[in-house]
Structures are given as structure tokens and as C-alpha cells.
Amino acid sequence: MEFLILDLALVTAAGLTNRYIPNPYSPEKTIDLIKELCKNTKERMTNQSKRIDELQQKESELNDKIGNLSNEENEKLKQVGKELNLIKSNYYLEKEYINKLKNF
């Protein structure tokens, strides 16, 4: 996963680093901060993608058993479906936002 970092983001990061982490190695601190933010974003996107896969697999397993469901199991299936839809929605919104930033 690649990130496009806009000049404005670099200038803002440098200003915030100078303001909150004042020291003679400020440019290095700014670069470290940006690297850390990119790493955290990548990890979050990867984790969300894995969670989506897990929930889709669980939903599929539950759908296979749908003929024999009790009310309790039916509620579990509905809850997993809702959670999956929420996480997928957030994931795709973030992914779309990142793609818009890439194309900016």
C-alpha cells in the first residue's frame, strides 16, 4: 500500500512537530511522525480487511446452517451481519478517502 503525502501535510506535520516536540532534530522527528502515521494507517486497513474476511466466513457458516436455526442462532446471524456491514462500510469509506487523496 502506497501513500501520497501532500506538501500541505508535510508543512503541517513540521509545524506541529516544532510546536510540540521542540529539539534540534525536528526534521527527523517530523519524518518519523509521518512514517509512524502511515504505518498505523496501513495496519488499521489490513486489520479491518482481515476482520471483514473473518466475519464473511462466519456469516457464510451461519447461512449454511440457516435451515436448522433456533431464534437465538438467528439473532446471532443478524448481529454478525450488522457488524459486518458496519465494518465494511467504514473500511470502504476509508479506502475511498485514501484513493481520493492519492488522486489529489
**Each residue's pLDDT tens digit, 27-57:** 788 888 888 888 988 888 888 888 888 999 9
Please enumerate in sequence order all residues whose Cβ is within 8 A of that of 82, keeping only pairs 6 or more positions apart, or say none.
none
Could you identify the residue written with the cell 450488522?
Answer: 82
Predicted TM-score (pTM) of this structure: 0.50
Q: Residues 17, 23, 24, CA angle at the centre, nearest 5°?
A: 110
- pLDDT, residue 3, reads 78
Spatial neighbors of 92 by CB under 8 A, at least 6 apart, are: none
pLDDT given at position 88: 92
Measured between alpha carbons, how far apart are the two ends of the chain, in Å? Answer: 17
Q: How far apart are CA 80 and CA 50, in angstroms?
A: 15
Write out the three cell numbers for 96. 475511498
